[in-house]
Structure 1
Amino acid sequence: MTDIMLVDDEVLALEYLKNMVDWERNGYHVVGCATSGKKALELFDRTHPQIVISDIRMPGTDGLELTRQIKEKDKETVVILLSAYRDFDYAQKGIRYGVSNYLLKHELSSELILKELEEVKEKLERAGNKKKIYQKYFMNQLIYHRVTAEELDKSILGNRFFLLLLHKRNPVIQGEFAETRWTEEEQEAVRNILEESLENIVFYAADVQITENNWILLYRIENTASKYMVNSLILRKCHQIADQLELCLQMHFNMVYSYEITPEEISETFRTISRQIRYSVFWEDEAICAMEKMPEKEKKAIWGEQIRILREAIYGSEEELEKQIEVIFSGIREKEDLEDCKMLLPSLSNLLGELCESENCKEIDLKEPLYTIREIEQYYCRNFSYIQQKYARKARLGYSRTVLDMIDYIEKNYPQELSLELLGEKFHMNGVYLGQIFKKETGQTFLKYLTNVRISEAKRLLWEENSTVAETAQMVGYRTSQYFSQIFMRNVGMKPQEYKKQRKE
């Protein structure tokens, strides 16, 4: 919708003009009507219409003076003047003041007005595109300090601003920070809310995407307002944007904002905010943070000794393991040192991979990306605790090394075709003898143990992964879904389809 304001000192003429066109249907919104130039200026300050249609002859502030003052406030506003007179001098002054056109009242019709407005709308769109290009260019000049204070005063109206950095979070996946970016669709979804003014005090000025996932925005502050009120409105603007992001995109993000700054402070504020957003992994998801001074750098941590102690704790008690993980991550949280965090995560992932290999198991909870340091800590704690429990269970069984190796091999290779003969070749022993000692120590035949492992994994796939019966059969080592269903029924007491249905219910 294009906002329009109507002005005429004659109430009947104003009402006639208001009803002459179906404004809403044709894409226009009448923000208000004024019966004098003075009232029109007050209405303009509150509503900021893109187009003003005004009578040229009015007592006091006439149409020409109204045009002049409106253009001083916003040179992009389009003014169309109406008159009952063919007054050449007035028309010339109107052109000089920036009037878009000069229409005679007695020739007015809805068709004429709509035709004129369509031409105006095209001009506004072209001007808007040029303005956006200029804004991005000028924003770059501002944040990278390529313009002087004198040039700033010429280029921007006002000297009160604040910066806001909108950050799409980089998740941690398998121990490394993955790159993300703002897509065009995401930017379009929040564009309107970004450019919306707030209480006729906070106005959008410019924006630019500085990296793939960081979007910097500049807002100007107009009208007289206390510092407390301005700070409150800045925070409200941030929450307004956050609500739109959650509603439309359901994405993971953070925001950092400055308090009121002058044009000369824009570049330094930008540098501070850009450094601060790198530490968002230490914040809560969707946190909105005021700009603060960055913490002093401390001596880098050396993680080799900590990882060695953690490895030993995994083969110790549950309390030892929890204590060591807490020691590692509490140090990271307190220092909020991003480089230390980046050095730690690959070390933890390498240890986890090594232990999973030695204990013949898989990492858990890999589906969801991790966005906060708390989530990362919980992820590694769950995995290392799982490995510790798996190791402890085996240790309690008191099996021989040969049987433990057989169990590890079965749990790692159950999707493949397995037999005692194959295990005999693998361990360089007689397959029949392996079967005998396996049953003696575990109380189960090799085939029964293999079936239990496969059925246990099949239940997990059907229940947690929502896999189809055919997919599950293939993933756990059965060639046909029919044979798999028979084995499943024999061991679980119901068909795979019934098991899935029970889960949904």
Structure 2
Amino acid sequence: MITILVVEDEKYALDSLLKQIREYDKQESFRVLQASNGKEAYQLYIQYSPELVMTDIRMPGMDGLELLKAIREKDENTQVVILSAYSDFEYAREALTYGASDYLLKPIKAENLGSCLDKFLKRKVTEKKEALMTGRDMVTQYIADCIRREDFSNFVEERMFKKIFRDYQISVIYFAGECRPDKGRFLTEIEKLYGGEFWMEFRFLETENDLWTLVVNLCHENSFFHRRILRLLQEEGHDVYIGVSALHTDAKEVHQAYDEALKTCKYKVYGKERLLLSAQPAEEGEYKYYLPKKEEDLLKEALKCRNTRKTEMVIENVFADIKKNGSISMECLELLLSQFLVIYRQTLGEGGVNKEGMTKGRTSVLQFDSIEDMRDFLIRIGRNICTMLDAPENGKHKDIVETMAEYAQQHFDQEVTVKELAEKVLFMNQDYLSHLFVEKKGISYSCYLRQIRMQNAGKLLENRKLSITEVASMSGYNDTSQFIRVFKKDYGMTPKKYRDSMKWENSSGEQQSTTECEGGGCA
């Protein structure tokens, strides 16, 4: 219910205005408070915090302008409408400079009042929508606090949550690719699907870098909500998975519901489903699996000796056991991943890499498309740890910078960043790697990669069967115009002019050879 405070010292004018408001408010959504002077009005304002104040200018004790100033000292968002006669127009103009949202001339006509209240309600809807989209409203804050802390409690916020969400589900959206939709546009598309009223039973949060969290009040109209969201995101080309919690009715179970949704989303590693419901994983078919002590010791020994083949073999054997026995529980899979990564960090530390050099990001099961993807990740990191740290027993040494350089040389036609190297290849801190590369090579990693791409582009342009677009793509550029700009900066001419100049040089060379031969210069 919306609270409106009407301030008017003339009884006839007050009664008339109250009647007009009642006639406008056919849905009975207004609670109207009334006061006959500024001081009384200010006390009501402090007590009830009305969203709209409609006040006359000329009143005994505290006039409308003084009331407006007092309200603005407390709150900048309360809408204040000034009521004034023609003779008070200059006062009304002054009131606008102090933040009055509108003014009405007496005697107040029904259509003018209706227009004023329409603007008030429209602005209120806009402000509420902005608050919901940015997570500033009380209910969204309650959800965020519950997700962060299992024991969080706030009586007022909990009551507000209960009023909106009687039967609710929480879903977690995980973006597997680098591409992210625009949040504002995404929420606008949802509004198109369900209408503006949907905001009353829906909340949106960004809980982590790769995660969006949705809370929806479950009713008949929302029964296909998650399938529609999935289709909407897929139609825009986003690689997403959605994990959905079970149905909940208790406001105290928000943290539990979020954990359910997150855990369910992780089950994507066991199949190709994009929408995963909490009841979907067959828990009775799961089993407990923990890294055997024997395999743990073998892995540590293999890494210590920098034995790449033995490291790969240990990891392959562990995952062969997992595949042979079926799906292990998600808690066990998370623990297994953590155990491997702890061993890797210990090995890096023993190899002379300080803590600042080790990755600070948290690797989760969510980041993998399948069990095989997780296995390959662990093998790749283990192999790189073996090869890039000192290995005195076989006389080989390939330092971290050379590993980074080789990776650029082998993958220059792909999307390569220090962030990707840090997370997926070297298992080290991004900033540390960037600093180390500049220190050893004298240029940034991105500049080094560009040099390799441009060298490759120059060679590819010799093949006239390839278009400029194809050369750009084969050199790691999806945007041809960007490729042309970079190429021109490095070579001083466009790829086309470079290719044409090569043609001229070849023609000159052939002509020169013919002349030399004709003059007896060739054997």
* TM-score for both structures, normalised by structure 1: 0.41
Greater relative contact order (CA < 8 Å, ≥ 6 in sequence): 1
